[in-house]
C-alpha cells in the first residue's frame, strides 16, 4: 500500500481536481485506489455527488463517531477499483480550535490508513497549508504531490512550501525517508497566455529538473463541467479528450515516481507488454 498526499500552500490551485482525476486514472490503469477527502471543506464530495457529500467519513473516524470498522464507510463506484472515503462531519473533530500535529494524532492516522491496506494506492486530498492536521497527514504518508498554479502569486508560495517539507523531514530524522516528494505538478497552465508561459518557464529553470513533473494540467472548462456533473473528467464523453489524456499521462508518470511498478500487488510487469512468447 502506498499513500499519496495532494498538498498545496494555498487554495485555488486545482488540488481537488488533481486528486479526483489522478485517483480515477490510476484505477483505470488497474490499481486498487482509495480516494480520501481529508479537507474539512469536503471538496471531493462537492465534486462528485450529493450522496458523497452527506456520507460519514474521514473526520467521523478520527472523532470516533463513525464505525468500529472504517471500511464500512468506504463508498463504491461504478469503477470497481476506484473507491471513496468522504470527509464526513469535520466540525465534530475540529471543534473551535485547529487540531495540533501531535504524536497521538499521527498514531491515529497511521492506524486509520493501515486499516485500508487492501488498496494499492491511497490518494489523500488535504487542506491547503502545512499545519495542524495536514502536517500530521504528510508526516505519516509515503509521497507528496504538490500542484502549482502557473501564476505569479502561487509561484512565490512554492519555496515556502518546500521549506516546510524540508523541516518536516528533518524533524522525522533518520528513522524514515518519508514523506518523499513525488513532484511538483504545474496546473491551470494557459499556453496561449504569455504570463502563464513565462511563469512555467521560470519555475522549470529555478527548481531542480527532477522536482518538476513532465505532465502538466491546463486550464480547461472540461474540469468545471465534470465537477458540475459529479464525475471525473474521463466520464464526460465516450471517447477520451485532451483533459482525460492529460491525467492518464500524469498517472503513468506517478506510477514511476511512486515505484508502483516494483510492488507485487500488480500483475507481472511484462504481462501487458509482451506481444509473443
Q: Pseudo-torsion of CA 220, 17, 33, 134, nearest 10°? A: 150
Q: Pseudo-torsion of CA 114, 124, 57, 30, nearest 10°? A: -70
Q: What is the pLDDT of residue 98?
A: 76
Do 85 and 36 contact (CB within 8 A), yes or no? yes
**Rounded to whole angstroms, what are the CA distances from 86 to 81, 89, 220?**
16, 9, 25
Q: What is the pLDDT of residue 265?
A: 47
pTM of the model: 0.86
* Every domain of the chain and the residues it spans: 2-257
Measured at the CA of 26, the angle between CA 25 and CA 32, to 5 degrees, comes to 130
Q: What is the pLDDT of residue 155?
A: 59
CATH superfamily of 2-257: P-loop containing nucleotide triphosphate hydrolases (3.40.50.300)
10-residue mean pLDDT series, the chain (277 residues): 89 84 94 94 73 80 82 90 90 75 93 94 90 91 89 65 80 72 86 75 77 87 80 81 89 94 51 50
Beta sheet of 212-218, edge-to-edge order: 75-76, 82-85, 33-38, 121-126, 2-6, 143-149, 180-189, 212-218
Tell me the β-bridge partners of 145.
6, 183
Q: Distance of alpha carbon 101 from its chain centroid, rounded?
A: 20
Amino acid at each position: 500500500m502506498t499513500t499519496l498526499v495532494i498538498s498545496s500552500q494555498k487554495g485555488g490551485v486545482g488540488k481537488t481536481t488533481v486528486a479526483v482525476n489522478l485517483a480515477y486514472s490510476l484505477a483505470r490503469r488497474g490499481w486498487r485506489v482509495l480516494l480520501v477527502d481529508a479537507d474539512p471543506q469536503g471538496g471531493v464530495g462537492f465534486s462528485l455527488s450529493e450522496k458523497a457529500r452527506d456520507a460519514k467519513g474521514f473526520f467521523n473516524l478520527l472523532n470516533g463517531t463513525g464505525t468500529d470498522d472504517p471500511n464500512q464507510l468506504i463508498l463504491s463506484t461504478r469503477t470497481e477499483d476506484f473507491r471513496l472515503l468522504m470527509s464526513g462531519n469535520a466540525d465534530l473533530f475540529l471543534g473551535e480550535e485547529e487540531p495540533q500535529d501531535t504524536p497521538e494524532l499521527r498514531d491515529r492516522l497511521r492506524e486509520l490508513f493501515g486499516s485500508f491496506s487492501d488498496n494499492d494506492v491511497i490518494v489523500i486530498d488535504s487542506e491547503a497549508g502545512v499545519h495542524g492536521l495536514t502536517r500530521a497527514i504528510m508526516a505519516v504518508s509515503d509521497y507528496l504531490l504538490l500542484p502549482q498554479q502557473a501564476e505569479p502569486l502561487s509561484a512565490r508560495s512554492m519555496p515556502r512550501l518546500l521549506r516546510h517539507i524540508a523541516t518536516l523531514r528533518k524533524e522525522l530524522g533518520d528513522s524514515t525517508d518519508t514523506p518523499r516528494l513525488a513532484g511538483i505538478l504545474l496546473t491551470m497552465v494557459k499556453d496561449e497566455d504569455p504570463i502563464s508561459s513565462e511563469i512555467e518557464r521560470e519555475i522549470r529553470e529555478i527548481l531542480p529538473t527532477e522536482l518538476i513533473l513532465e505532465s502538466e494540467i491546463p486550464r480547461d472548462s472540461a474540469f468545471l463541467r465534470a465537477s458540475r456533473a459529479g464525475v471525473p473528467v474521463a466520464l464526460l464523453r465516450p471517447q477520451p479528450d485532451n483533459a482525460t489524456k492529460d491525467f492518464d499521462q500524469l498517472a503513468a508518470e506517478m506510477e514511476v515516481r511512486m515505484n508502483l511498478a516494483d510492488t507485487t500487488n500488480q500483475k507481472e510487469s511484462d504481462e501487458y507488454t509482451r506481444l509473443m512468447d
